[in-house]
Amino acid sequence: MPRIPITREGYDKLKIELQRLQREERPRVIKAIEEARGHGDISENAEYEAAKDKQAMIEGRIQEITEKIGNSQITELPRDVDGKVVFGCKVIVEDLETGEVSSYRLVGPYEADVPSGTISVISPLGKALIGKEEGDEVKVQTPKGVRNMEILEVQA
């Protein structure tokens, strides 16, 4: 399986979340389960059921993050992009139909968050942009149809 690119910052965030879940959340929920058991019959104990559900969610998230970390390859951010779209760069694009200007940083899929301005290099827009240069026009298939965009600027 190919390794998934991730920035150092994104990798560190995953590690921090994993440590928090393992060192704080997991012990907290185990204690809550023990306390709920101490209240007697667990077959009709809502506190016990809630704690067990939370434990399942925490363990699932720990497993998910562990797999992401194992599949990741830290990719250093570019120092200079020379006008070319590469992993980690910031791209300013204009939608040629609407005139709307947007800015995105291209990152790995584990750290993409459109509201905060990061998109995955494997998203339709990321794939369309990667390898292109300032001034290039790109066509992007979106849920609303094909969008024509121009790359206005590429920053490291």
**What's the domain count of the chain?**
2
Query: 110: how many CB neighbours lie within 10 A of its CB?
Result: 20
Same domain flag for 31 and 64: yes
pTM flag (> 0.95): no
Q: How confident is the model at residue 1 (pLDDT cuts 50, 70, 90)?
A: low
**The token pair that represents 45 in the structure block:** 């104990």
- Provide mean pLDDT across the span 4-11: 95
Same domain flag for 63 and 124: no
pLDDT per residue as tens digits for the range 67-91: 999 999 999 988 888 999 999 999 9
Q: Which residues contact 43 (CB under 8 A, 6 or more apart)?
A: none
pLDDT per residue as tens digits for the range 89-145: 999 999 999 999 999 999 999 999 999 999 999 999 999 999 999 999 999 998 889
Q: Which of 74, 102, 135 marks a domain boundary?
A: 74
Q: Which of 74, 103, 122 marks a domain boundary?
A: 74
* 61 touches 123 (CB < 8 A): no
